[in-house]
Amino acid sequence: MIRDLPIPPDLRTKVDNELAPGEHIDWIGVPRPHYFTPASTSAFLFAIPWTAFAIFWMSAASWGVAKSDGPAMTWAFPLFGLPFVLIGFAMLSTPLWTHHSARRTVYAITNRRAILVRGGRTTTFRSFLPDRLRELQRRERNDGSGDVVFVSRFWTDSEGDHRTEETGFMRIDNPKEVEDRLRHLAESNR
């Protein structure tokens, strides 16, 4: 089911303040806030055994120290597992951060450019002029949502793994309509 999601008023004001004289909004929207995206799901699934093992290790170390008659300093040994438990909890909370980030994101198409706004402690504005909107890529999901990608960046990390970073309007309703508007913007400014 396709529905219009509310735009946070503070972010809408920031988008309006970002517009230049004579610039107007043709379309504005927000991503669908999902807890489990592909990236957050993989981090979450990896975090389950990580955190379980870290807790098990700390418990076993504490039990071993409690059974021994060693010096009081040996009680510090189980605490070495604490950073791993905290990292595990951070990875387990990745879906919550993904959801929160989506609720603080606004996308806009004006008569001059495409704008991505990400709010939070600081607000990040990214503008894409029409010449950067010529190689669009659209993905649609069965629920009617999808992505319109402007820029894909490919690289190999230090371990030799291939990585991809995509920038665009992600997890939006009516991706075909948005793609058509972006193509129109790109064509009208040639």
**87-129, pLDDT tens digit by residue?**
998 888 877 776 667 678 899 999 999 999 988 788 889 999 9
The span from the CA of 103 to the CA of 108, in Å, is 15
Query: Strand, coil or helix: what is 116?
Result: strand
Whether 111 and 147 have beta carbons less than 8 Å apart is answered as: no
pLDDT tens sequence across 155-186: 777 888 777 778 899 889 899 999 999 999 99
Residue type at 78? P
C-alpha pair distances (Å), 134 with each of 74, 187, 190: 63, 8, 10
What 64-73 contacts at long range (C-beta under 8 Å, 24+ apart), as own/partner pairs, is none
For the chain, percent helix, then strand, then coil, each to nearest 5? 45, 25, 30
pTM: 0.71
Q: How far is CA 189 from the centre of its chain?
A: 30
